[in-house]
Structures are given as C-alpha cells and as structure tokens.
Structure 1
Amino acid sequence: NAYLNGYYDEMVNFLRNVFSAAFKTNDTLEKGVLTGCLRIAKESIFTGLNNFRVVSIFDEISNQRFGFTQPEIDTMLQDYQLKDYQKQMKEWYDGYQFGGCDIYNPWSALMYVDKLANTSRREPESFWANTSGNDIIYRYIKEANPKMRDEFDILAAGGMIEKAVKDDITYREMDQINNVYSFLLYTGYLKAIRCLDEDKRIYQLMIPNKEIKRVFLSIFSEWFDEQVEHSGNSFV
C-alpha cells in the first residue's frame, strides 16, 4: 500500500500521468471504467476530466456486478457437485451488500470451490488473509483508543455498532478517527446493515462473514500477544 509505505504522493503523481494519457488525450477510447475501494477524484488525479459517474456500494446500478449472487453460487456448486457445501460457502464468503443486493466475495468463493474440487480438504479458510492488506486493521487496533478497541471487540463477537459513514474519503484521511469505520466499510471489512439516519449518514455496521471475522480475531490475538510480551504479567 503506497500510503502505509510512505510513497503515496509519488503514486498519485504517477497515476495522474497514466490516467491523463489513457482517458484525457486518448482519441481511440469511447468509455473508461475504473474500479476500486475508495474514490480518487479528490486527489486531483483526473486533472481536466469531468462528468464522472460514481457508483458506490449503496447504489443499485450495477449492484450485481461486484461479486457472485446467490443464484450464481448455487449454479457453480451444482455444476461441480458441491451442493453439500452451500451452508459453509454462505457463512464464510457471503454477506456483502451492494445497493441492497446480497453479494459473495468472488475471489474467496472461487478459491473455496477450487479447494473442494481439487484437494481432499473440506474446511473453509480465510483466503482474504492471503490477498488483502490486513496490516491496516492491525494498525487501527494497535493505535486505537479504549473506546474504539471495545467497538472492535463488539464487532469480532458478532455484534453491531452505529457509525456515520463518509462517502468520499481518501487514503490521506484514513488515520482520522472519524473516518476509520467508513474506511473499513468501503474496503470490505464491514458491511452496512441499514441506515438509521439518512441526513447524518448513520448506519448499523457489522462484520460480513466468518472469513472476515477470522481476520479480526487473528489480528486481535497477535496484538494481545504483543501486549503481553511487552508488558509482562502486569498487563494480564
């Protein structure tokens, strides 16, 4: 991650040049589509470009194109004679919400089917842990104040919290305490259950599935072991 590793400004400048050549001065391009977790228009990467159509996780347009829907999962499991694993698939890799549509993590769903079809192992696992920057979560837990750490504990236990969600955060704002949960929502570590206040953008948030819960618990365990090592018996 460019932000965490200290070369964010350099990456922004690089992408500004790339996107300017690809979108602004490319006469052969009819339409461009960019996908990602956070909005990047605020970084002035698209100097001279305008009229963007932004689609977020709350929008209904294209809400079935960010992962697998339940019928698609059912078809895939049936095609591979794996319907007996429908419950495990749903508990571990389902739970994401895009514009009111229930969506499975496509990468993890495919990896689990591949595991079932080509190995003798049957237990689900957190494929997310091998592909995502979970050091972000560790950083939040490590630097969190007691209130936030209690909220992380509630989430890891399967509970819900109520937080205001900011739509247009960037990586530069991820360290601001009020933006932590918005960042976790847009990067897939949380899901929005329902909106409690549309004007203030307050949502009920929770961990989407067992795969992400495993990530939280693993990082909590790592953090706790570190505290015990540094503090000795006085911490316990």
Structure 2
Amino acid sequence: MLKKLPIGIQTFREIIEEGYVYVDKTDHAWALASSGKYYFLSRPRRFGKSLFLDTLKELHEGSEVLFRGLYIHERWDWSKRHPVIRLDFSAGVLRSRAELDLRIEWMLKENAERLGVFCDRTRNDIPGCLSELIIRAHAAAGQRVVILVDEYDKPILDNITDLARAAEVREGLKNLYSAIKGQDAHIQLVLMTGVTKFSKVSLFSGINQLRDITLSAAFGAICGYTQLDLETSFREHLRGVDWARLKQWYNGYAFRGESVYNPFDILLFISEANQFRNYWFETGNPSFLIELLRNRRLFLPDLEGIEASEEILDSFDIERIDPVTLLFQTGYLTIADTRERFGQWLFALRIPNQEVRHALANHLIDAYTERLPSERLEWQKSVYGPLSCGDVDAFIAAIKRLFAGIPWRNFTHNDLPESEGYYASVLYAFLASLNAEIIPEDISNHGQVDLTAKLAGYIYVIEIKLNRKPEGSGAGEKGESTNPALAQIRARDYSAKYRDLPGKGLFELGLVFDGQVRNLVQADWRRVD
C-alpha cells in the first residue's frame, strides 16, 4: 500500500505518526546543530521551510520516538530537552505596525504559556518581553533556548506596494529581532527563514551574527526534493513516469548545490495522476513582480542569461528594489553556474524549468498587452499554428494582429513604443508561452541575433529593428534587400551554425517595428537550405 502524500502538512509529528511519505532532512538538522548557532535561510514559497523548522522543534524538544530510523537518531543526545520559542508570521496579512505588534504580543504570550513561564508586559516592551522569555525559559528548563522564526519577512512583503507602511512594519520586526543579540548565553540555536533577505543595515543590524546558508553548497538541498529522493521515497508513486519530462517541467532549482524539485509540484503532480500543470506557480500572486518588470523596462529575453554578484542576490531593500534580486529570491530565477572573478563570486542565472518559464510568460503577456487570459489564448493559437508548420507569412500576420490589439492607453505618458526592447520582450513572452525553445541574443562567430526560436522541428533566426521613418514595405521574400534587420542576418551569417542540423526548415526573419505606428511595418524572410 502506498504511503499517503503530505500535501499541505507542515507538522513533522503528524507526518511520522500518520504514516505519510517523509523525505529525511535530518542530516541537515545535524549539520546545523553541530557546526554553529545562528542561521538564516532564504527559499521561495512552498519549499518546505515550515516543515524543516517543525522538525527542528521536535528534535530539540527530545521527541526521540519520531526520529527512529532517520539519519540523526543515533547521533543525537536525547537526554537534553531544550525549550523552543517559535515565531510564525506565515498566517494572515498584517497591514500596520499596530497589527504587527498585536500579533507579536500574542505569539510571545502563547510561547510563554506553552513553556510554563511568563513575561510581565506592564514592565516590558516587545524586545524586553522576548528577552525575559528567553531568560526565564532557560532557567526553568535548565537548557538553553532554541529560537525558530518562520516567514520572518512576510509582514513586509504583504505591504511591499506601500513604501511607508512597509518601512513601518520593517522597523517593528527589527525592534523584535534586536532582542536576540544580547541573549547569547541563553541561546542554543537560532534559525530564521523567509523568502527574501533584507540587508543587515535595514533589518538585521541587531543580530549581525547570523550565518546566511542560502547560498551554501552544503545546504543546497535543505529544502526541496532531489532526484534521489524521488527515485527512493516516491519510487512507487512515480512508477512509469516520464523522468526526462518530469525534470524538464519541475526540476532545476539550484542554490550552489544539487538541483531540487519544488515539493509542492511533486506532491500535486502525483495526486493529480501525473498530469503536467503549473501547480507551484498558480499558488502565488506575482502581480507586483510583473508590474515591477514592466515599469523597470527589463528586457525580457535577458531573463535567460543574467549574471549577478552575491550582493545582488542576497540583499533586498524596499527603498531600492532590484528586479533581479526579487526574481531570484522568489524562485523565478535560479543559479545555473558559479565563477569567481576579481575577488568576488559571480552567478549565472536562468529560469528554473518549464513550469516557471511557461507561467511567467503568460503573466507577462497579460501585463504587457492588458488583455484577458481568454483573449491571450486566441493570440497564442494564431502564433503557434504558423510556427509549427513553417508558414512564415501567417506568423508575420499574427504578429501584426497581436500588436494591433494592444490598447493605446498602455503607451500613455511613457516611451515604451520607442524602445526596441519592448517589441522583443512581447515577442519573447509569446514564444516562451508556446513552449518554444528560445535562445535570446543567440551568439555566433559574427555577432549575436536577437532571438532564435525552435518549435516543432523548425528553426527561426529573428532580428528586430526599430524604425522611426514612414511605414516600409510589406511581408515577403522580395523585400529582403531593403530590410535592415534581414540584411544584418545575412551580412553576419547568423544562421550558419544551424544549417547542418536535422529539421523541417530553417528561416531567417527580419522584423522592423515603428514607434509611432506601434506595430510591425516591415517583415521579410528567406528560407535557408
């Protein structure tokens, strides 16, 4: 009989006692407990952070029977039982400093009652109460205190579109966390988890001894499922699965260690009879992120090849939000490669997998075109059909209809149509949403072409130009001599590296857009034998 799937269950005791599948992460718990004291971990949502924290809680409280048969059981000293203070900000939305303080006071009271101690709120503010709770819990138990903070940053992220309110909430959290620094003699372990990492200046100045293990290769698989986890713990559940397709859809999250799957994806995939769908992406609301990308004019094809330093990846400030930082910390970008240059680490980033690429592209299309998903679907069909059968003229006609359907109000009080990157970004998003293989800024020995798209055995080498002159010629092979985009493809022989590859057809396509017309004004192509 197959074990039950722990969908939505974040309580370690329930998983073990009720016979759910459990992927053993206690080797990481042992590494934390035996090599340090203060830790910080950032991972995207629904990656198993809460379950890992609850595992640490049961471990330090001495729940020996729950760990029998697991990695840590024979290594742990079960004679010691540490009091655990658990602060969890994952539930609900806090819209002000007053609501935050009220929630913190409730959590401190709940922890005090569970530990059999008290905090005199008539004589203490919030940090004073936490300090008193730590000291009294240590004295009552005779063992130092473990502090676990779940989703430490959620109150800030809930208010991220209101800078003043987010800053106010941030100061409230900083006020709370500052109490930890002065209680070192009473503390056994601290682990704080969240989605983002705020800079030490803005939030962590009170506890600057935290060791950030987010990008530590040794803890790369502390959350998430590895390939081995799937082939052992879920072997029977995944019998007969197309492993290559499963990896393509859901694997690929990497934090300088072994790449992992999002647990939520795998559990839902199994429960839905192995149907490939956007399980993880659909649980989030990336509207703020999408609007940020649009407002910052991020060149969307660049998402396939961003390089960033460690400072960019691990420092988040509400006053100066870097889209790359937010994309990485929220799971829409991950680490593809790491190298050291001029004394610092540089990280090549990529979109993790097909689920993220496909779903993110759909959201970007809706944001750039301000159309409903039902309208987007018709456009996608009109683009996919021609591309999948090598009908370039029909593809060009579909592009014209696409841009003609974008509301003019999108361009009020901005210069979007004057940017070549805008047209390339919309086209990239549409091609990505069709599950086409896209190579942005495709490099050859003569330079780089804007986009290469591969779909259904056809290869399209595409160069995009912006024309501010009157409308040019129409589509067709006859205009290639006057089309600057197609002329550049031919002059630099961008398609040369694809000529000997097997396939149904290779096309060179030059697209010229006009900033005033806000559409395609010239499109010429040639088929390459």
TM range, smaller chain = 0.7 to 0.9
The reply on whether 1:225 has 2:377 as its aligned counterpart is: no
Structure 2 counterpart of 1:186: 329
Q: In 2 relative to 1, CA 115–14 (structure 1 residues): closer, same or farther, beyond 3 Å?
A: farther
CA gap of 1:126–1:46, structure 2 versus 1, over 3 A, is same
* Amino acid in the other structure paired with 1:187: T
Larger Rg: 2
Residue segments in structure 1 that go unaligned for 5+ positions in a row: 117-121
Q: 3-state SS of the aligned residue for 1:217?
A: helix
Determine if contact 1:162/1:203 at 8 Å carries over to the other structure. Answer: yes
Contact 1:92 1:211 survives alignment (8 Å): yes
1:139 aligns with 2:295: no
For residues 316 and 283 of structure 2, the distance between their equivalents in structure 1, rounded to whole angstroms, comes to: 21
Deviation, structure 1 residue 37: 3.3
Question: Residues 26 and 10 (structure 1 numbering): CA distance in 2 closer, same or farther, change over 3 Å?
Answer: farther
Preserved CA contact (<8 Å) 1:193 1:206: yes
1:211 aligns with 2:368: no
Whether the 8 Å CA contact 1:74–1:86 is kept in 2: the answer is: no
Give the distance between the partners of 2:352 and 2:211, measured in 1 at CA: 27
Secondary structure in structure 1 of the residue aligned to 2:349? strand
Deviation at 1:20, TM superposition (A): 4.0
Q: Is the 8 A contact 1:60 1:98 kept in 2?
A: yes
1:95 Cα deviation (Å)? 0.3
TM-score normalized by the length of structure 2: 0.37
Secondary structure in 1 aligned to 2:338?
strand
Question: What displacement does 1:228 show?
Answer: 0.5
Distance 1:220 1:36, change over 3 A: same
Pick 1 or 2: higher relative contact order, CA cutoff 8 A, min separation 6. Answer: 1
Quick check: which one's strand share is greater? 2
Shift of 1:84: 1.5
Q: Which amino acid aligns with 1:42?
A: K
Query: Shift in Å at residue 43 of structure 1?
Result: 4.5
Structure 1 residues 174 and 188, CA gap change in structure 2 (3 angstroms):
farther
Task: Give the match's secondary structure for 2:192.
Answer: coil
TM-score by length of 1: 0.77
1:108 equivalent to 2:251? Answer no
TM superposition shift of 1:212: 0.8
Indicate the residue corresponding to 2:220 in structure 1: 63
Post-superposition offset of 1:142? 1.6
Q: Which moved more, 1:191-200 or 1:123-132?
A: 191-200
Q: Equivalents in 2 of 1:131, 1:71: separation in Å?
A: 26
Give the Cα separation in 1 of the matches to 2:308 and 2:207. Answer: 33
User: Alpha carbon RMSD of aligned pairs, Å?
Assistant: 3.0
SS in 2 for 1:67: coil
In the alignment, what sits opposite 2:255?
A: 98
User: Which consecutive aligned stretches of 4+ in structure 1 deviate over 6 angstroms post-superposition?
Assistant: none
Give the residue type in structure 2 aligned to 1:235. R
Deviations 1:42-78 (A, max 9, x none): 2453454342211122x22222212111110122432
Once residues 108 and 182 of structure 1 are traced to their aligned partners in structure 2, the CA distance between those partners, rounded to angstroms, is 23
Is the contact between residue 256 and residue 338 of structure 2 (CA under 8 Å) also seen in structure 1?
no
Distance 1:210 1:19 in 2: 38
| 3-state secondary structure, aligned to 1:211 | helix
Query: Does the aligned pair in 2 maintain the 1:39–1:169 contact within 8 Å?
Result: yes
The verdict on how the C-alpha distance between 1:167 and 1:198 changes in structure 2, with shifts beyond 3 A counting, is farther
Give the whole-Å Cα distance in 2 for the aligned partners of 1:32 and 1:52.
Answer: 8
Matches within 5 A, 1:6-25: 6=163, 7-20=165-178
Corresponding residue for residue 301 of structure 2: 153
Give distance in 2, aligned partners of 1:41 and 1:137.
19
- Which digits, 9 at most, give the CA deviation of each residue in 1:2-29, with x for residues without a partner? 2224421122123224334567559864
Candidates 190, 201, 206, aligned match of 1:32? 190
Q: CA deviation at 1:94?
A: 0.6
Are 1:42 and 2:209 an aligned pair? no
Question: 1:119 corresponds to which residue?
Answer: none
CA distance in 2, matches of 1:161, 1:44: 26
Unmatched 5+ residue regions in structure 2? 1-156, 371-404, 411-515, 520-529
Alignment of 1:171 with 2:323, yes or no, is no
- Once the two structures are overlaid, the 10-residue window that deviates more, 36-45 or 4-13, is 36-45
Give identity over the alignment, percent.
21
**3-state SS of the aligned residue for 1:79?**
coil
Cα deviation code 1:81-130 (max 9, x no counterpart): 544143333111110112231111122222222222xxxxx431222333
Where 2:212 maps in the other structure, the secondary structure is: coil
Alignment-derived partner of residue 451 in structure 2? none
Select between 23-32 and 75-84 the one with higher mean Cα deviation. 23-32
